Structure 1
Amino acid sequence: MIKKHEIYKKDKWNMMTVEVQGRYIVLREISDQWGEETHTFMSRPALMQWADTRFPKEEYEDNMDEWRRVMAAFKGV
Structure 2
Amino acid sequence: MIKKNLIYKTDKYNMLNVEVHGKTIIAREISDQWGEECHTFLSRPELMHWAGNHFKPENFKGREEELETIMQNLRDV
**Shorter-chain TM-score: what band?**
over 0.9
Q: Amino acid of the residue matched to residue 5 of structure 2? A: H
Matching residue of 1:55: 55
In angstroms, what is the RMSD of aligned CA positions? 0.7
User: Match for 2:38: what amino acid?
Assistant: T
Give the Å deviation of 1:65. 0.6
Match of 1:30 in 2: 30
May I ask how many residue pairs the two structures share in their alignment? 77
How far 1:61 sits from its partner (Å)?
A: 2.9
Percent same amino acid among aligned pairs?
A: 53
1:74 aligns with 2:47: no
Q: 1:57 Cα shift?
A: 1.6
Structure 1 Cα separation of the partners of residues 71 and 27 of structure 2? 14
TM-score by length of 1: 0.95
SS of match in other structure, 1:65: helix
Amino acid at match of 1:35: G
Equivalent position amino acid for 2:55 in 1: F
